[in-house]
Chains A and B, each alone.
Chain A
Amino acid sequence: MVGSRHWLMRHRFRRFWFWLSCLAYFAFAWVPLTSLPAAAQHSLWECPSSITRSEESEATPLSVSTPVAEFPGEGGGLTVFAAASLTDAFEAIESELESANPDLSITYSFGGSQALVTQLTEGAEADVFASANVAQMDAAIEAGLIAGDAATFARNRLTIVTPRDNPAGIESAADLGKEGTLLVLAQAEVPAGRYAREAVCRMASDTATYGSDFVRRVAANVVSEEEDVRDVLAKVTLGEADAGIVYVSDAAAAGEQVQVVDIPDEVNIIATYPIAVLAEGDQALGSAFVAYLLSDEGQAILERFGFQPVDQ
């Protein structure tokens, strides 16, 4: 049978010590449970004192001399590390590019921008990095991962999504503070999570519309902090959460599975997506991919998936 010769089975246990250590373990393990508050301290996120505009700086638009992407004749394998919110748009771009260039094979690794930078810093091999915010791209540049300049290739804005039947009756952004709403956000360190908290801070400064104490009320509703924005969307499409804050592009990807509740422009955050070729990557293939994204064709695909195109 399973493990019959395992060291655990070779000896008889000294009963006293065995039961004592069991007791000790259970006592030790359950003590913290009693000290855990029934509802955990919902750590208030810090709102900047003056909320005027997003501090997001623009990545310098890459001066692309030839907007038409020319892939090297022999093709080859291209590995792209991309923010989770780009999943559907980039997959559409993959099938477009691979049917146009039969020798080309694109591999994606999608994840939170933060995690991707960590993986790249730890030596993961890729040719292109597409981030959901400038801060992560700056981190990658600082780590010496990037060859040349980063280019802004898309913009995105936030929206509230609810399950199709909207069980909590979320009609407007102000309803996020309604007591008992199961709200799911991305964790504060990933761009989508930071923007969502920033947007709530902006709402809170408009007490006439959103009421007093808005940040505290919203924070108390947060039941899960997800690793990346796609996990937020999954919790909402499954109907486990009452509401989530995601990008417009994510809501577009979910289609009929979710209801969209708009976040007004004056409190919304515009996310900027920079892209760059990695220093260790294939420069020719990488820049061809970047050029394709910036071309009219690439921009049209991104727009189809809910992104806002960038002006050349």
Chain B
Amino acid sequence: MTAKSTGNPAIAAPARELRGAGMLSTESRVTASRPAADLVTGKVTGGTSSRASGLAVWALALLLLLFLAIPVGALVIRALGTGGAWDTETYEILRQALGLSLATTATTMAIVVTLGTPLAFLLARRRFPGAAAIEAIVDLPIVLPPAVAGIALLVAFGRNGLVGRWLAESGITVGFTTIAVVMAQVFVSAPFYVIAARGGFARVDADIEAAAADLGATPGQVFRTVTLPLVLPSLIAGAVLAWARALGEFGATIMFAGNFPGVTQTMPLAIYGRFGAGDMAAALLLSVVLLLASLLVLLGVRIAGGRMRDGV
């Protein structure tokens, strides 16, 4: 298949780079992406073998799609089937857990964006010794299993931890507080934002910024009027990923912050708690509400970001 539909990599590759920098016009983007589409649908040659391989591509893709969709569908179907679970107790758990989840993730996002943007900017733009090591540190929490993140936070900020011991002496304990929930979320979600933002900053053409500076713009003006509009999509994409990761954060939270309604019990912990309590109906209900909330945010971002093609 690859041998037959060569596309034209010589054109496609630079086109991709330009597109990444947000520099390509709409027309040339459409032409550049056509070979890729033909590759999938198998329209290039039209031969039998190519049709068969095209079918194979569809079948494989469909298989994964089904695997992703079936659990979500089952969740919704089962939750609809147990509609009677909406009692005052479940409502109280939902209200506290959803409220806490929204509040902690909002706080996390504020922290991640405020501190993560400068870090991403420096990593993308400045050459300094140890940059590779710093990038590795930033990336590490992504590959760490949640349990390791939980233990790491405990030995760092727990009452007997490296920093926590010193904090406890000055009368501050973070364990079992909402602060611990936010700390766990920042730890696991910040890398997603920083990586996306770093990529965004790296793709901005330095020549445009230089041109703006030549025209008399101050560094602040250059950043606000040239750099920021160009990286904003990357920042938002990173922020959405980080937000999703923070919302789903479970392992590190339950190990580091504990589990108490209204203080540390976020939605994932509440769902796990209901499941552990044998209250499947409530667990399903909470899961579906979390699903809907996530969907709402994703759709919101899509609507805010979509449909806008003018001026690109």
A residues sitting closer than 8 Å to B (CB atoms) are 1-14, 17-18, 21, 25-26, 28-30, 32-33, 35-37, 39-41, 43, 111-112, 114-115, 117-118, 121-122, 136, 139, 167, 182, 184, 187-190, 222-228, 231, 234-235, 238-241
Contacts and interface: CB of A to CB of B under 8 A. Distances in A.
B262 A2 contact: no
A21 B304 contact: yes
A222 B301 CA distance: 39
B199 to A, nearest CB: 3
Contacts of A238: 154, 158-160
A188 B22 CA distance: 55
B133 interface: no
Contact of B260 (A12, A225, A231): A225
B99 A36 contact: yes
Contacts of B275: 115, 118
Contact of A11 (B158, B258, B305): B305
B279 A189 contact: yes
A243 to B, nearest CB: 13
Contacts of B200: 1
Contacts of B100: 32-33, 36
Interface stretch (B45-53, B55-63, B227-235): B227-235
B272 interface: yes
Contacts of A9: 233-234, 237
A15 to B, nearest CB: 8
B273 A1 contact: no
A18 B235 CA distance: 12
Given A4-B203, A240-B158, A18 B105 contact: no
B92 to A, nearest CB: 9
Interface in B272-303: 272-273, 275-280, 297, 300-303
A121 B278 CA distance: 10
B146 interface: no
B126 to A, nearest CB: 18
A189 B309 contact: no
What are the 7 closest A-B residue pairs judged by CB atoms, nearest first?
A: A224-B258, A32-B99, A1-B199, A189-B277, A40-B262, A29-B106, A8-B237
Interface of B: 16, 19-20, 22, 95-96, 98-100, 102-103, 105-107, 110, 154, 158-160, 175-176, 195-196, 198-200, 202-203, 229, 232-234, 236-237, 240-241, 254-255, 258-264, 272-273, 275-280, 297, 300-309, 311-312
Contact of B102 (A29, A37, A223): A29
Contacts of A188: 277
Contacts of A114: 276-278
A36 B96 contact: yes
Nearest to B92: A43
B103 A224 contact: no
Contacts of B159: 167, 238-240
Nearest to A32: B99
A238 B277 CA distance: 25
Contact of A1 (B20, B176, B263, B304): B20
Contacts of A136: 278
A29 B176 contact: no
B156 to A, nearest CB: 12
B154 A1 contact: no
B176 A13 contact: no
Contacts of B272: 227
Contacts, number: 178
Given A33-B100, A111-B276, 9 more contacts: A3-B237, A5-B19, A6-B237, A12-B305, A18-B304, A112-B276, A223-B260, A225-B273, A226-B259
Contacts of B99: 32-33, 35-36
A228 B272 CA distance: 11
Given A29-B106, A227-B272, A13 B312 contact: no
A45 B203 CA distance: 58
B233 A8 contact: yes
Q: Which interface residue of A4, A5, A111, A234 has the most chain B CB atoms within 10 A?
A: A4
B278 A115 contact: yes
Contacts of B240: 8
A225 B308 contact: no
Contacts of A241: 176
Contacts of B312: 11-12
Nearest to A186: B276
A57 B5 CA distance: 73
A233 to B, nearest CB: 13
A11 B237 contact: no
Contacts of B107: 30
A32 B102 contact: yes
Contact of A227 (B22, B254, B262, B301): B254
Given A1-B203, A2-B196, A240-B158, A11 B307 contact: yes
Given A6-B237, A29-B106, A189-B276, A40 B308 contact: no
Contact of A13 (B106, B260, B277, B305): B305
B219 to A, nearest CB: 21
A40 B96 CA distance: 10
A32 to B, nearest CB: 3
Contacts of B102: 28-29, 32
